Amino acid sequence: MNQQATNVPVLPAKPADRIFPVPGWLGLLVVVIIYFISMSLGVVLLNLYPALMGWGPVQADTWLSSSTSAQFAYVFAVEAITIGLLWFFMRMVKIGWSQIGLIRPKLKYFGVALLAYGPYFVLNAAATLGAVALFDLDAGQAQQTGFEAVRSTSDLALTFVSLVILPPLVEEIVMRGFLFSSLKRNLTVVRATIVTSVVFAIAHLQFGSGAPLLWVAAIDTFVLSLVLCYLRQKTGNLWAGIGLHAIKNGLAFTVLFLVPNTEFLQGL
Cα(263)–Cα(267) distance, integer angstroms: 8
Overall average pLDDT of the 101-109 stretch: 94
Task: Provide the whole-model pTM.
Answer: 0.89
Q: Quick: pLDDT tens for 224-243.
A: 999 999 999 999 999 999 99
User: What is the model's pLDDT at position 134?
Assistant: 86
Q: Quick: pLDDT tens for 46-72.
A: 999 898 888 888 888 888 888 899 999
DSSP string, 74-85: HHHHHHHHHHHH
Residue 136 has pLDDT above 50, yes or no: yes
How many CA atoms within 13 Å lie on the side-chain side of 186? 12
Domain ranges of the chain: 20-140+151-265
How many CA atoms within 13 Å lie on the side-chain side of 267? 6
Cα(14)–Cα(27) distance, integer angstroms: 23
Q: What percent of the chain stands above pLDDT 90?
A: 66
Instruction: Indicate the pLDDT class of residue 8, thresholds 50, 70 and 90.
Output: very low
User: What is the model's pLDDT at position 7?
Assistant: 55
Cα(175)–Cα(224) distance, integer angstroms: 12
Residue 266 has pLDDT above 60, yes or no: no
CA 113 to chain centroid, in Å, comes to 16
In the chain, which ranges are continuous DSSP H helix?
Answer: 2-6, 24-53, 57-66, 68-92, 107-135, 153-160, 166-171, 180-186, 189-202, 215-235, 239-253
Cα(126)–Cα(122) distance, integer angstroms: 6
- What are the helix and strand counts (H, E) for the chain? 11, 0
